[in-house]
Amino acid sequence: MLRLMFPGAGGSARRLMAVALGALVVAAFPSRAAVEAVHSGKNPPPRLAVDDAPLSREVKAATSYAAVVKRVAPNVVNIYSTTTVREPAYQHPFLNDPVFRHFFGGEVAGGSRTHKEQGLGSGVIVSPEGYILTANHVVEGADSVKVALASGEAKLEARVVGTDPVTDLALLKVELKKPIPALPIADSDKLEVGDLVLALGNPFAVGQTVTMGIVSGLGRGGLGISGYEDFIQTDAAINPGNSGGALVDAQGRLIGINTAILSRSGGYQGVGFAVPSNVARFVMERLIKEGRVIRGYLGINPQTLTPELAGLFGLPEDAAGVLVAEVGDKTPAQKAGVMEGDVITEINGRKLVDHRSFQLLIAQTAPGTRMNLRLLRPEEGHKPKEHAISVTLVTAREEGAAAEERHPAKGNDAAAPGHDGLDGVEVADLDARARRRLEIPGRIRGALVVNVDQDSNAGEAGLRPTDVILEIDRHPVATAEEAVRLSEKSTADQVLLRVWNSTGEGGGRTRFVIVDNLKRK
């Protein structure tokens, strides 16, 4: 029995409570007179305005995307992957003791155990033959892949035609019982920021879902998601399970494959990314034709030309192009005469904006293609000269300790008054031990950075331990002493470094770094 307890209440309080509860009961149930008044017509029921007709064609066209969703929805599928995961079984700490193992033999080893992991994602049927585009991470390493159509039919076994991890794309194929109309693929290069988009997929396994947003940004990269990043950014909600689903425009044309979100919570926070349809189409065609993606290779390490770099290279601040940070040995670029410090402004008449657009253009060009480069070559004390160079691409390769004596530049009285850009940086010669430990190739010559004060100008500019300084103000660096000497000589407001680090793709990355050369107060 439910009892209402009022601390400290006596008999009179209980009587008051009973009266109050009685009043509540009377208020909750209308009197017979009130009921008879309604039935007699004295208090008629309210007159409601009911309009149960469907929206007019004009209003529907202006406010609803139902027609677009109906066309697209049959092409968006759910993908179920099963992966066998092998992990070490529990092993008693005694098994790490070689004496224990010697006496009891190898049979005591803990061995390993396996279990099945289920994955969920989305995909897009792009042809009546049953080809499905999805994200590579949805099916990567899977033992089996099944596809569930939006129509609710039984799951279909899917064959993985091929994968391309560097763009996070995969191509599947299923045998359809009846053809599904191909989903039109739009030209993603014609997208503009502000265009309306719809994202379709199966988030959190709740069933097919549609979310709406706009294109928030184009050409997004540097996210560490894949090797070739040129993402469409959208605020259309993308959640776990949406990966591999369709991003379509207001006409229901495919413009991207949803692939990732940027989130601090693990869930949607308004920033999602999709692989552009032009990239997806290129990958799909190569996988169908050749079973893998064969990319062109030029052999340079490109860097976006910023206004600051342009100024140091004697170019106008509004100059656009790609700065050549490194030219690979025996590469097509080297053979054609491209040099480090060149600025490539055009390829086959197409102007370059940044290093990502350059990388995608080269990667999507077949090996053996001859390309015409237009570049500017800075010359000390002279206006940069324009050069035209032809180069033939080759097939891209599959990608996928400090010396004891340190040379601090810190607090050196010989430095130019008021200038100390490399204050807080310690460098050492590259010896055999350092090369082995950091996997530094023999072709790299310079001074190894062993310590950087993060509050210094160099630290704020991005110089880090394990970087190798190759040049200072366009002058080659061979030893640590030479690096110190060149840094002391610099009297400009900024120091231009060319550095190499082993953490880049393909065995290392070279970049230019600008360091303020004024003493910090």
Q: How many CA atoms lie within 13 A of 8 on its CB side?
A: 0
What residue type is 31 in one-letter code?
S
Q: How many CA atoms lie within 13 A of 254 on its CB side?
A: 29
| 151 is a catalytic site residue | no
**Which positions ≥6 away from 494 have C-beta within 8 Å?**
308, 312, 421, 514, 515, 516, 517
Q: Please identify which of the residues 81, 122, 127, 137 carries the catalytic annotation.
A: 137
Find the angle CA(403)-CA(404)-CA(407) to the nearest 5 degrees.
85
Helices (H), 214-294: 277-290
What span, in angstroms and rounded, lies between the C-alpha atoms of 120 and 369?
40
Two tokens at 65?
Answer: 């995307």
Beta bridge partners of 382: 379
| 243 is a catalytic site residue | yes
| 164 is a catalytic site residue | no
What residue type is 152 in one-letter code?
G
CA separation, residue 389 to residues 115, 337, 371, 377 (Å): 56, 8, 8, 12
**Which positions ≥6 away from 180 have C-beta within 8 Å?**
74, 75, 125, 128
Helices (H), 248-331: 277-290, 307-312
Q: Please identify which of the residues 188, 243, 357, 456 carries the catalytic annotation.
A: 243
> To which H or E segment does residue 28 belong?
helix 11-28
Sign of CA dihedral 223, 229, 234, 237: negative
Q: How many CA atoms lie within 13 A of 293 on its CB side?
A: 27
Pairing of strands 322-327, 350-351: unpaired
**Distance from chain centroid for Cα 245:** 16
Q: Please identify which of the residues 164, 168, 429, 473 carries the catalytic annotation.
A: 168
- End-to-end CA distance of the chain: give it in Å, rounded: 77
**Contacts for 311-314 with beta carbons within 8 Å, 24 or more apart?**
312/494, 312/496, 312/514, 313/341, 313/343, 313/378, 313/384, 314/378, 314/383, 314/384
What are the residue numbers of the active site? 137, 168, 243
